[in-house]
Structures are given as structure tokens and as C-alpha cells.
Structure 1
Amino acid sequence: MSLEYKIINRNSDDFKEILKLNLEVFPQNELLAPINLEDPIMASDENLKIFTFYDGGKFIGYAALYLYKELCYLAFLAIWPQFQGCSYGSKILDILNSNFNQIVLEIEYLDPKADDIDQRIRRSKFYQKSGFCDSTHTISYLGMKYSIYTSSKVEFERFIQMFEFFKSKNYFEFIYE
């Protein structure tokens, strides 16, 4: 496996592939906030970085990150289903961790009553195996509760400031705990 990457923008041909991939792997409600890649204003924000990943020239997946002060918010990480389980996700996180010091992300809260609890647990274990830890803080938006995971010690207040910034742009409302 030889994973290459490049940073693209909304005008790239690969951006269309990202939109197709999103429809394949994400529920519709997860594509709305806090980062909406289809929003031209958000997509043109210089703090939004979209990494596309390739193996032998074949598009494997992407990561969308938002840089806020010293934080790097991993808004999306998606890999085509046929390439999932082949260590691409771990390799992508290794690349991101080597380029950014403080990565923060959220995953669906591990609610034992959730219909997809097994998938949530697998996702949690995947991020933990890649060096992320549960911050024990949560955030809720659009009717979903998320656990906040970090790659290193992150001041929770900085994370909240970033989400307050998103809120000020009218991206969405949220509740944090």
C-alpha cells in the first residue's frame, strides 16, 4: 500500500467524487453540520482543508479538516466501502497526526439504546486504536449527541470557542456538556 494525498478545493474534479462518497457512507443528517462541504461560503473558507487520498492513483477517500487557532477539527473522514477494513483509515489518521498537533473530532455518543450501537462501538475502538481518546465531553446538534475525541490534550474551552465561531456564522445551534 502506497498512500498519496493532495489538498483540493471545491473546484477540483475530485470534489465531485467526494460528494458521491458522502452520499454512499454518511446519513443525510450528518452532512449538514457543523461543516457543509456543499455550501460555497463554507467550502471557500481558507481554514477548511480537504485532503484526498489515493493508492496507485485510485481515489480511496478523503478527510475534511477545519483549522481553528491551534485546533484541527476533523469534520469528515470517509473511505469507499470496498476499501474499508484495509487499514486505509489508520494510514490516513497517521498522515493527519503527523501534520497536525491537536486533532479533535466527534463520534456518535455510545448510547446502549441506539439501534447502531455496534457500529458506534467499532468506530470508537478504531479511533482509540489510532491514538485518540474520549475527552468525556459531549456536544449535541441536530438532534444527535456526540462524544468528543482528541489526539492529544486539548483545552475543551478552545473546542467550544470553535463551535461558537461556527454558531456565529449561522451554521447551526449546539449544546455542550
Structure 2
Amino acid sequence: MKLKRITFDFADIELLNALAKEAFPPEEYIAPIELIEMSQKTNLDFWALYEDKSFIGFSVIVTHKTMVYLFFLAINPTVRSLGYGSIALSELIRKYPSYQHVVDMEMIDNNASNIAQRIKRKKFYLKNGYMETGHYLSYFGVSYEIMCKNKDFDFELFKELLKTIPIRNFNPIFFN
């Protein structure tokens, strides 16, 4: 798998837009053009994922000091469950080797309409070496569990990192 930086002249913009709309619910969706703009001005890296010449998906990474936050990861539905998500995570570890890797995912909620998807997603991250931190956050009306690649999760640094994300009305609330 190859990572390719997404910029305003990205050739597969239609595929990117379609995947972003398909992969994320409206309350989590950010238009790719906005992500490109943020990546030009901030500590946000916007990567396309390719296998040979095929667009497989994308990731959005926020870096701050010694931490990397996987803000978005989306794999094309035609190739989901074929290992590309795990390969993408491995590539991101290689790209940011000296960073603490953090992700958040929708909390397991038995009343959620997508409970099966949430359970599958958590199993995916656990299988790929992420661990529960015992910390949670909520933003835009959705509650998330925070997971980290190593045991020494720096919660204060994570809160600092989130303050660097320039999204209007993005004010996470933290809880345990």
C-alpha cells in the first residue's frame, strides 16, 4: 500500500467524495475539500491509500508534539474486510514511527442502530494493537471511546491535540 498526500489537484476527487459520504454519518462528515484546506494550514495530514493504481481509501491524521490522532480512516466498500484497514494502520505506524497513536471510535451502545458495526470496529482496532484507555469523549452529539497503541496514554496531550483541530464548534467533552 502507498500513501499519497491529498491536495487540491487530487486526481481521484470524485472517488474520495463518494467514499467520505458513504463511510461517515452526517454528524461526523467533513467535506474532503475542507480537509484539504485544513491540511494546507494546520498539523493535519490527508492521505489517499492506494494499492498499485487503485484508490483503496483515505486517512486523516492530526499530529501534535509526540502524538498522532487517527481522525478518519475509510476503506472503499468494495475491498473492506480484505485486510486493507490493517495494512493502512501498519503504513501509518511506519509513517509516524516515534509517535503515540490514538484513535476514537463510537462507544459500544446496545441501543445504537449500528451496534454491530461498532462492535466490529472495536474488534478491528483491538486486533491491530490498540488498547482501551478508559477515557471517553463526546462531540457533535456522539460519544466516543479513546483507544491507544501503547499502555502509557497521555490524556493531557490528547486534550491539547484536540484543541489544535480548526473545526467550528468542535468542543469535545471528556469523561471516564
TM surpasses 0.5: yes
Q: For residues 3-38 of structure 1, what are the alpha-carbon distances to aligned partners after superposition, in whole Å with 9 as ceiling and x for unaligned?
A: 222222233223443222101221111114xxx643
Q: For residues 108-131 of structure 1, what are the alpha-carbon distances to aligned partners after superposition, in whole Å with 9 as ceiling and x for unaligned?
A: 011122121111010000001011
Is 2:65 the partner of 1:72?
A: no
Is 2:22 the partner of 1:24?
A: yes
| Inter-partner Cα distance in structure 1 for 2:51 and 2:163 | 37
User: Which range moved further: 71-80 or 15-24?
Assistant: 15-24
Is 2:33 the partner of 1:38?
A: yes
| Inter-partner Cα distance in structure 2 for 1:15 and 1:99 | 23
| Inter-partner Cα distance in structure 2 for 1:14 and 1:171 | 30
Q: CA deviation at 1:45?
A: 2.3
| Inter-partner Cα distance in structure 1 for 2:128 and 2:114 | 22
Match of 2:90 among 84, 89, 94: 94
Is 2:99 the partner of 1:104?
A: no
**2:134 maps to which residue?**
136
| Inter-partner Cα distance in structure 1 for 2:154 and 2:73 | 23
Q: Identical aligned pairs, as a percentage?
A: 32
**1:158 maps to which residue?**
157
Task: Give ranges in structure 2 of 5+ residues lacking alignment.
Answer: none
Q: CA deviation at 1:41?
A: 4.4
Q: CA deviation at 1:145?
A: 0.3
CA gap 1:144/1:17 in 2 versus in 1, 3 angstroms: same
Task: Give ranges in structure 1 of 5+ residues lacking alignment.
Answer: none
TM-score, L = length of structure 1: 0.87
SS of 1:6 mapped into structure 2: strand
Q: How many residues align?
A: 171
CA gap 1:10/1:48 in 2 versus in 1, 3 angstroms: farther
